[in-house]
Amino acid sequence: MYYHDKRLQYPVTVEKPDPAFARMLQQAIGGVEGEIRVCMQYFFQAWGNRAPTTKYRDMLLHTATEEIGHIEMLATAVALNLDKAPTSLQEEGAADGIVGAVMGGGSAKGAIEGMIHKNLLSAGLAAMPVDSDGVPFNMSHIYASGNVAADMYCNVAAESTGRTLAVRLFNAAHDEGMKKMLHYMIARDTMHQEQWLAVIEELGKEASMPIPNSFPQENEDQQNNYNFYVTSLDGSYPEGRWTAGPSIDGKGEFTVFRNEPLGDEPVLGAARPDSGAQAEQIG
């Protein structure tokens, strides 16, 4: 179960509120690389973890709980950036002190057009669980596979795209308070990338591959598990670490296969009379 402290994990300040930056920050809340995603992903991985030990479950709970505080920081940052956002399209309602208005030609209308409209119309100038184009987050992005090694790669993927996003936000930002908040979040993403890679190392890199390692590898097709398939018409292909030499897991040797059909043309045959097909399909 859970507790809260109403203070923030890290300071969130905005000197010059900018509705356009509020829109960008929404990607870090409700984007597929955002904080709701990692928070819920780590929780569901923890809650469903089956193993002889509760060690990984425990660790996941620590970080999942940390991530709630990140959503909170970002939601606060969005609200602060919307502080002086325009609420009207009327000419006389010219915005005062809004970065957007200044940069976008001076009109409130210009500023409002750069916003996610739901931030105003649905939320009254507050954050929402949507991405930077206003698309709501969908929980199908919570990857918790029941395989701890697969989950760790999902987590590294999430934190890699997450830190990439945070860096893009840092590069786009002009407010010192926002840059400071982001320089903290980028650091946490570094740690989280490292943390999941550390678990992979603990699980034994080669020993853990291919995932899942509980499937007897002799049951997979031995002719097609370490060869790069070339699908170009002329048979050309780029050489690399993946076309020759020992495989990464040390269990095979990379080779190259010029792809061709190993099966026949499939023929499903005539449709059944009761299946709603055209008479011609029934034959």
272 binds a copy of itself (CB under 8 A): yes
265 binds a copy of itself (CB under 8 A): yes
CA dist list (Å): 125 to 74, 164, 244: 14, 27, 56
Q: Round the CA-based radius of gyration of the chain to a whole number and report it.
A: 26
> Is omega for the bond preceding 212 within 30 degrees of 0, making it cis?
yes
Contact with a copy of itself (CB under 8 A) among 17, 23, 95, 98: 23
Check: CB of residue 126 under 8 Å from CB of residue 75.
yes
Q: Quote the least distance from Cβ 123 to a copy of itself, whole Å.
A: 5
Please report, as residue ranges, which positions from 110 to 149 form the binding site for a copy of itself (by CB under 8 A): 110, 112-114, 116-118, 120-149
Q: Quote the least distance from Cβ 53 to a copy of itself, whole Å.
A: 8
Q: x/- binding map, residues 194-233, to a copy of itself, per CB under 8 A? A: xx-xxx-xxx----xxxxxxxx-x-xxxxxxxxxxxxxxx
Please report, as residue ranges, which positions from 232 to 261 form the binding site for a copy of itself (by CB under 8 A): 232-234, 237-238, 240-242, 247-249, 252, 254, 259-261
Q: Quote the least distance from Cβ 184 to a copy of itself, whole Å.
A: 5
Q: Return the SS3 of 49.
A: coil
Q: Quote the least distance from Cβ 3 to a copy of itself, whole Å.
A: 4
Comparing C-alpha atoms, which of 6, 176, 135 is closest to residue 76? 6
70 is in an annotated binding site: yes
Q: Quote the least distance from Cβ 98 to a copy of itself, whole Å.
A: 12
Comparing C-alpha atoms, which of 39, 41, 105 is closest to residue 69? 39
Q: Quote the least distance from Cβ 97 to a copy of itself, whole Å.
A: 13
Please report, as residue ranges, which positions from 152 to 171 form the binding site for a copy of itself (by CB under 8 A): 153-154, 156-157, 160-161, 163-165, 167-171
117 is in an annotated binding site: no
Q: Work out the burial of residue 6: count CB atoms within 10 Å of its CB; fewer than 13 is exposed, 13-18 middle, 19 or more buried.
A: exposed
Q: Quote the least distance from Cβ 78 to a copy of itself, whole Å.
A: 8
Question: Any idea what DSSP says for residue 93?
Answer: G
Question: Any idea what DSSP says for residue 137?
Answer: P
58 binds a copy of itself (CB under 8 A): yes
Looking up tokens 């890199």, which residue turns up?
A: 205
CA dist list (Å): 5 to 2, 69, 72: 11, 10, 11
48 binds a copy of itself (CB under 8 A): yes
**The amino acid at 182:** L
Contact with a copy of itself (CB under 8 A) among 38, 79, 95, 98: 79
Q: Work out the burial of residue 26: count CB atoms within 10 Å of its CB; fewer than 13 is exposed, 13-18 middle, 19 or more buried.
A: buried
Question: Any idea what DSSP says for residue 124?
Answer: S
Tokens of 169: 């936000």
192 is in an annotated binding site: yes
62 is in an annotated binding site: no
18 binds a copy of itself (CB under 8 A): yes
The size of the interface with a copy of itself (CB under 8 A), counted in residues, is 197
63 binds a copy of itself (CB under 8 A): yes
CB atoms inside a 10 Å sphere around CB 228? 17
**Binding site per annotation, positions for Ca(2+):** 58, 232
**Binding site per annotation, positions for Mn(2+):** 35, 67, 70, 159, 192
